[in-house]
Amino acid sequence: MNITVQSGDNFWLYSQIFRLPLQLIVDSNPSINPNQLMIGQTIKIPGFIPDTYTVQSGDTLWTISQQQNVAFQQLLFINRHLEANNLITGQQITLPRQVTWRVVNGCQEYSYDNLIKNMQQLAYIYPFMSLFEIGQSVMGKPIPELVIGNGTKKVHWNGSFHANEWITTPIMMTFLNDYLLSLTNQKPIRGLHVHPLYYETLLSVVPMVNPDGVNLVLEGPPEETYYRDLVLDINNGRSDFTHWKANIRGVDLNNQYPARWEIEQERKEQKPAPRDYPGETPLTEPEANAIADLTVNRDFDRLLAFHTQGEVIYWGFEKSEPAVAETIVNEFARVSGYEPIRTVDSYAGYKDWFIQEWQRPGYTVELGEGVNPLPLSQFEEIYQEATGIFLASLYI
């Protein structure tokens, strides 16, 4: 919600009126110097959206605040240009609605369009969250990154490396919505007050690494003739893409990283396929490159790549992981019930490459159990299991 600066205003006043942490207001207005506000400037107030109300006969701001369930001081402040004691029937006034509900409906088939819509909604309501484009998919879809906080600890999450594991995206987006709600409503998640996490952490999230693949699984072959013919050929003419893991070119994005890639190249598929083809060389695919470039540029302290399924957490690679990685994964296991597994006969994955190159904690989290794609009937159970991991990754 936007407000206009008037004489005597300052960010501290806004924080008191709207009952928000001062830093959230500062971070929502990065181009404005809090110490040099100018009358007429537009200021973004996070966690609120404007609504309108038509004054009825006999109304006062007090009765309106009671009837509409908005705080009287906020209503008075946002309508300072009016004569509060002389409201006119038919007059339009602004109601500051504090957002206390989710805008993300995660328990649905969650396509790329759903993601973009929800990200734009969250960015509007919570302008202290930043959006970036880290690259594009094969078909030219922008791959978005969300960033919340600017602390010194840099944590990264991503989901939907594999197309038929798309449920990881709405799980992640639902938690992000809850995190933002917790910050602006000052209510804890599972008894944990999250404001210290915001101040201490820069959280980077790429909710959908493989947008072309996700849409292929959920919506079927694309309209573009070239890509439609390509995926049908790779899929041996079958129109059912339910079990497709790869990107639109038939490359497994989580077999694309230069961490003993040659092992996977020798024993996996030798040509484009719905799954398990590591490509001709490492990092041939734009989606894998976008994540690699982001990782280098952001210099993450730890990362979690969310996949399905198995209720396990892979946390080692060739004994290159630091000792603290085990402490962290044991906490993940405690809060989720998932089994930590240090080593597995698998290479060329994103977390493998991260551990190999930086010797920092990296995790592949396999959410849920069953056959991919996991059914939406598991959504709530998976969300509850994942919430503990999300929180622990920020506070440990």
CA separation (Å) from 324 to 2, 340, 360? 44, 14, 9
Helix (H/G/I), strand (E/B), else coil: 33: coil
Q: Which of 366, 369, 380, 385 is catalytic?
A: 366
- Residue 257 confidence (pLDDT): 98
- Among 46, 84, 48, 81, smallest CA distance to 64 is for 84
- Among 303, 286, 296, 294, smallest CA distance to 352 is for 303
Contact 113, 70 (CB under 8 A): no
What is the set of domains in the chain, with CATH numbers? 2-98 (3.10.350.10), 112-213+282-395 (3.40.630.10)
CA Rg value for the chain: 24
- Residue 81 confidence (pLDDT): 87
Amino acid at 334: R
Backbone angles phi, psi at 357, to 5 degrees: -80, -35
Query: Tell me, what DSSP letter sits at residue 377?
Result: G
Buried b (16+ CB within 10 A) or exposed e, 141-179: bbbbbbbbbbbebbbbbbbbbbbbbbbbbbbbbbbbbbb
- Residue 85 confidence (pLDDT): 83
Q: State the first-to-last Cα distance of the chain, in angstroms, to the nearest integer.
A: 34
Active site residue 326: no
CA angle 190, 192, 193 (to 5 degrees): 130
Which parts of the chain sit beneath pLDDT 70? none
Task: Kindly give the interhelix angle for 168-185 and 112-125, rounded to the nearest 10 degrees.
Answer: 10
Q: What is the 3-state secondary structure (H, E, C) of 149-194?
A: CCCCEEEEEEECCCHHHCCHHHHHHHHHHHHHHHHHHCCCECCECC
Query: Tell me, what DSSP letter sits at residue 211?
Result: H
